[in-house]
Amino acid sequence: ASLAQQLVQVGEYLQAQGNQVIFNGNRVQFATAQQVAHYNELVAPLAAQHQSLIAGLQTQLRLVKP
């Protein structure tokens, strides 16, 4: 999945948890270990996808510069 698709999946998962998820500042807390495991699976690829996006943008910017 792309970065955007993965972010949508994370958002949909969080929304689907309803009142079984607590947002505390930049933290997310779940009621069960299963919820935590699934959330961690969803967010695990985000860092690498972000780095890939940034690298691609930097390459494009170098190509555009005179």
pTM of the model: 0.80
Beta bridge partners of 23: 28
pLDDT in tens, 12-55: 999 999 999 999 999 999 999 999 999 999 999 999 999 999 99
Give CA torsion, residues 20, 5, 41, 53, to 10 deg. -130
